[in-house]
Amino acid sequence: MIKTGEIIKNALNAGVVVPAFNVPHLPMVEPIIKAVTDTDSFALVQVARLEWEKFESKSLTAVRDEFDKFDNPKNVRLHLDHVPVIDEDHLEVDYTAIIEEAIALGYKSVMVDGSRLSLDENIAAAKKVGEIAHAAGIVFEAELGAVLGHEAGPLPPYEELFASGEGFTRIDEAKRFVEESGCDWLSVAIGNIHGAISGATMNEKKPEARLNIEHLAKLRDVTGIPLVLHGGSGIKQADILESIKNGIAKINVGTELRQAYEIGLKESGSVKGAQQACYERTLWVINDFFHIQGTRKIVAE
């Protein structure tokens, strides 16, 4: 079976993208895998620590068990998303224990998020995770720069954030980070933002973000590895498609599917109705937004 790391490299080389779909609610796993399989595309199914802490994915084991019920290795793999060193509530996390648990459970790739640390501390944390992941024969992702949105309270006005370049991944730091940490994939900040998770804003429409493609191209050139875009929901489609041409090989999608599921649950009053809404929205993301239907053979064979 082709390894996840090779799949993402293939996507980068082919100029296509692998979406990574978050599952804050366990019943989302089945319709996501069905949509990916039905479109003969390839995707990662992923869970972040905050999704079992603040939503309904329950645990690493629960997500793995649900994934295993519907797994189709030709079309999907299981990825561990954001494991912060310092979380959104500014608390320290035993991140290596979570990484080790995920690997033992069979997750095929993992992510450490040290973006709230200093550059030196972020490199050290990523290097530590890299040693664990590589010893197990899997790849790992790290983050440099500040992809905002998970913090409590509202964001500053988006246009103000974009114009200032606040939190953007710095070119010089990215080069050093990749060289010293040994990360396989790098999540970058180029105007993208996460969907809010605080109670007051989690159900609101995300601000329509845009991307600094010129900055992205420079990051691609100095790093030489697949780059990752977090906060993929709500970004202008033209910017998304241009980013894929300029080094983005993996895009995380969370809010788009979570809100479809939650609205479907509220309107239908049933999990089945919510799953159907999630399935239909996943089809839309694959077919109409990313245009990646039928790309499995390109990236995963």
Residues carrying an active site annotation: 81
Residues contacting residue 270 through CB under 8 Å, at least 6 positions apart: none
Locus of tokens 């319709």: 31
Q: Residue 237: count other Cβ atoms within 10 Å of its Cβ.
A: 11
- Tokens for 120? 């030196």
The rounded distance, in Å, linking the Cα atoms of 174 and 195 is: 24
Q: How far apart are the first and last CA of the chain?
A: 9
The rounded distance, in Å, linking the Cα atoms of 260 and 279 is: 9
Q: What are phi and psi of 250, to 5 degrees?
A: -140, 130
- Exposure of 116 in the CB half-sphere (CA atoms within 13 A): 18
Contact predicate 276/264, CB 8 Å: yes
The rounded distance, in Å, linking the Cα atoms of 1 and 72 is: 12
